[in-house]
């Protein structure tokens, strides 16, 4: 029999868990195989209350639990019982000399450090939830996986129980190794969480650990491998649809960040991380129709997102469009029937308790770039009106609308809008003039009237050429960060041709 298939039975089991009830089915299955249990503290009391006899750790070590329970299992007899090698005559002789038992299995459920941090507990309460004995037991058992089985998470109880039933209380070497790998994942994630909590806002080392792996069909292209690390169930309830792709997830991220900017009923259509259609209106059906008219060609195969529930009327109109994903806070029953008529469509319900991340990470060269998310969006009270003519109340609303979109558009970016409706966008251009020309061309292509529209730019205008081109296209008001040494030339042009311009002081580059 090969080493990977060699089986070892379980005789002695050490159990110390924070959450008690979830482990009970596993303990009952182990009891059925006549194992000897060892435990301490609350876990020992729980086991005995359920009719499961166990030897106390204190009776093995001859030491009580001390320092308010901070020291219970940290003893040579306990760690010797885990780390001694069964294939070593010297180890076994020492174990016999010092009366050290031999553990075959360790079950640990750590103190809930992360959930305590998230609960808003005090600093001292959080410190007390840093597990010392449990994390040490996990590492010791995982290191000695040739002899010891380590179960380090409640997520593994069911799998362990099934193996016990299927293999008559035995585990193969490969299974022990697999559980050891899981254990080191648990311990490293735990230590990372503590390090990041105790570090300041710019720690000396980049440490990230995200639980949950999703195998994607491929990456950006079919020849690239793709994986997603995270738990999408914390963000969406998936009503139906095929597996989301790498590109779907990038577009969904862009869509969720964009729609978060709007309070009015708003609908957006995303392609390649950029909005090709956005509109706000009095109802969500009207918003969808306007958003689609921004660029009905680019909308084909896009990601749709709404900040209002999708009703049957809206779904009826959406159903005529080919799209891959739709996201909304909710759906009427009839809307689900209509949209679900094509089974490959992903229908996602965005959870109302989802909070956008505050930090962004990106691989670069041989390291990782980290930055705060661009969470700043200025309002009219913060803008600086630099022209003789002030924007009208209607233009102010359109300027705010356009500025929200340009913030989430790949640089260099220009957005043209009117009546809370995206008329044209220039995205990802190497020249700001090219971005403006692209936006104008898109509006003209779909016969959208630019007269009286506004223009938003993600960064300053290095020359006055953009405001000049915009003026001749019908633009009446401009919003931009400002900061160019030639700002005055753009302002002078606006004054000469009765345009209004506001400076936000905030650049919104997006690469």
Which residues are annotated as catalytic? 143, 272
Residue 242, Cβ neighbours under 10 Å: how many?
12
Q: 37 CB contacts (<8 Å, ≥6 apart)?
A: 13, 14, 15, 27, 30, 31, 47, 52, 53, 54, 55
SS3 label, residue 222: coil
Strands 36-39 and 55-56: parallel
3 state SS for 153-196: CHHHHHHHHHHHHHCCCEEEHHHHHHHHHHHHHHHHHHHHHHHH
- What's CA 21's distance to the chain center, in Å? 29
* 266-271 sheet: strands from edge to edge: 236-240, 346-350, 323-328, 302-306, 266-271, 274-280
Q: Running DSSP on this structure, what letter comes out for residue 216?
A: -
Residue 259's nearest CA partner among 239, 241, 279 is 279
Question: How far apart are alpha carbons 141 and 8 in whole angstroms?
Answer: 15
Q: Vertex 474, ends 469 and 476: CA angle to 5°?
A: 95
For residue 361, CA distances in Å to 55, 133, 358, 461 come to: 48, 33, 10, 29
Q: Any bridge partners for residue 346, and if so which?
A: 325
Question: How far apart are alpha carbons 147 and 128 in whole angstroms?
Answer: 32
The string of DSSP codes covering 88-112 is -HHHHHHHHHTT----SEEEEE---
Instruction: Name the H helices within 55-101.
Output: 57-61, 76-83, 89-97
């Amino acid at each position: 029999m090969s080493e990977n298939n060699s089986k070892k039975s379980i005789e002695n089991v050490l159990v110390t868990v924070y959450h008690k009830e979830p482990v009970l089915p596993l303990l009952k299955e182990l009891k059925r195989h006549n194992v000897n249990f060892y435990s301490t503290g609350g876990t020992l009391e729980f086991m005995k209350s359920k009719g499961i006899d166990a030897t106390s750790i204190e009776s093995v070590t001859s030491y009580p639990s001390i320092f308010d329970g901070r020291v219970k299992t940290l003893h040579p007899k306990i760690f010797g019982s885990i780390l001694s090698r069964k294939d070593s005559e010297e180890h076994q002789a020492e174990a016999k000399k010092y009366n050290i038992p031999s553990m075959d299995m360790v079950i640990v459920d750590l103190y809930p450090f992360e959930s305590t941090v998230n609960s808003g507990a005090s600093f001292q309460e959080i410190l007390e939830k840093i597990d010392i004995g449990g994390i040490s037991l996990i590492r010791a058992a995982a290191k000695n996986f040739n002899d010891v089985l380590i179960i380090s998470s409640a997520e593994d109880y069911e799998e362990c129980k099934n193996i016990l039933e299927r293999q008559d209380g035995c585990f193969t070497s490969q299974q022990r190794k697999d559980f050891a790998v899981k254990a080191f994942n648990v311990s490293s994630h735990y230590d990372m969480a503590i390090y990041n909590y105790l570090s300041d806002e710019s720690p000396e080392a980049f440490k990230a650990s995200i639980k949950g792996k999703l195998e994607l069909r491929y990456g950006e292209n079919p020849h690239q491998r793709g994986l997603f690390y995270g738990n999408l169930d914390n963000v969406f309830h998936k009503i139906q649809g095929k597996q989301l792709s790498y590109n779907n997830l990038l577009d969904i991220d862009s869509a969720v960040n964009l729609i978060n900017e709007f309070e009015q009923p708003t609908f957006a259509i995303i392609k390649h991380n950029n909005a090709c259609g956005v509109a706000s209106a009095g109802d969500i059906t009207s918003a969808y129709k306007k958003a689609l008219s921004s660029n009905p060609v680019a909308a084909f195969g896009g990601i749709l997102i709404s900040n209002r529930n999708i009703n049957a009327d809206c779904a009826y109109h959406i159903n005529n469009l080919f799209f891959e994903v739709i996201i909304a806070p909710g759906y009427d029953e009839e809307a689900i029937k209509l949209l679900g008529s094509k089974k490959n469509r992903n229908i996602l319900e965005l959870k109302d308790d989802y909070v956008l991340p505050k930090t962004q990470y990106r691989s670069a060269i041989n390291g990782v770039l980290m930055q705060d998310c661009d969470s700043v969006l200025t309002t009219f009270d913060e803008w600086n009106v630099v022209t003789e003519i002030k924007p009208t109340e209607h233009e102010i609303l359109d300027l705010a609308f356009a500025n929200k979109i340009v913030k989430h558009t790949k640089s260099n970016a220009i957005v043209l809008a009117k009546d809370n409706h995206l008329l044209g966008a220039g995205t990802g251009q190497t020249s700001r003039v090219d971005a403006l020309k692209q936006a104008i061309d898109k509006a003209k292509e779909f016969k959208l009237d630019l007269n009286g529209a506004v223009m938003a730019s993600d960064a300053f205008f290095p020359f006055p050429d953009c405001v000049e081109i915009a003026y001749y296209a019908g633009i009446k008001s401009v919003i931009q960060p400002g900061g160019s040494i030639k700002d005055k030339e753009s302002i002078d042009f606006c004054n000469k041709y009765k345009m209004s311009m506001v400076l936000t002081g905030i650049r919104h580059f997006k690469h």
